[in-house]
């Protein structure tokens, strides 16, 4: 079971730094992430989602492959690839995996203009090694699905770094 953690940061650059740090920790096998996204509330108040995986690209690639194979049967592989890529991209655009986009947009409206939040779906982690690395950046917890005990531990780690919680 994955746990959702949403932490607000003073700017999008800080949220991106934490995201990159989490990717580094994942390479060290200290955390396993299902999804990571940065939500930015621009100075004009608009919400911008920065997804880490593109379902459109994956859908287009898969559609082109299958379209090309089916096109070979009818001696029109290029047409099959083009139609398959278009269909796959359309299907990928309608697919939402990981953290729900509308949920992220809704929480993004609670951010102050010019700030950002990091949304993370964690499959598993080693908190005693991950928390000190993430706490360096501070932040404010917006939402979690963690147990009360784990959420308190995360809040304390962020407070130790001097961040409001």
pLDDT tens string for the chain (165 positions)? 678 888 999 999 999 999 999 999 999 999 898 889 999 999 998 988 877 754 445 555 666 665 665 665 566 566 666 666 666 665 555 544 567 787 788 888 888 999 999 998 888 888 888 888 888 998 888 887 677 887 787 878 777 765 444
In whole angstroms, give the CA distance from residue 122 to residue 20.
15
Query: Which helix (H) or strand (E) segment is 99 a member of?
Result: none
10 Å Cβ neighbour count for 48? 13
Query: Which helix (H) or strand (E) segment is 32 a member of?
Result: strand 31-41
In whole angstroms, give the CA distance from residue 9 to residue 67.
43
Coil, strand or helix at 18: helix
pTM as predicted:
0.67
Q: What local confidence, expressed as pLDDT, does residue 61 receive?
A: 63
Q: What local confidence, expressed as pLDDT, does residue 163 receive?
A: 45
Asked whether the beta carbons of 125 and 45 are under 8 A apart, the reply is no
Q: What local confidence, expressed as pLDDT, does residue 164 receive?
A: 47
Q: What local confidence, expressed as pLDDT, does residue 45 receive?
A: 87
Which two tokens mark 79?
A: 């047409």
């Amino acid at each position: 079971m994955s746990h959702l953690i949403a932490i607000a940061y003073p700017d999008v650059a800080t949220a991106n730094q934490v995201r990159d740090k989490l990717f580094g920790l994942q390479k060290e096998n200290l955390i396993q992430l299902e999804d990571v996204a940065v939500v930015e509330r621009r100075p004009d108040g608009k919400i911008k989602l920065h997804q880490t995986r593109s379902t459109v690209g994956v859908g287009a690639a898969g559609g082109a492959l299958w379209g090309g194979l089916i096109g070979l049967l009818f001696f029109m592989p290029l047409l099959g690839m083009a139609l398959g890529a278009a269909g796959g991209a359309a299907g990928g655009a309608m697919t939402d995996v990981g953290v729900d986009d509308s949920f992220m947009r809704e929480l993004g409206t609670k951010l102050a203009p010019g700030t950002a939040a990091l949304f993370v779906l964690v499959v598993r982690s080693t908190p005693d090694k991950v928390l000190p690395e993430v706490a360096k950046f501070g932040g404010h917890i917006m939402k979690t699905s963690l147990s009360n005990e784990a959420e308190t531990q995360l809040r304390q780690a962020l407070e130790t770094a001097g961040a409001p919680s």
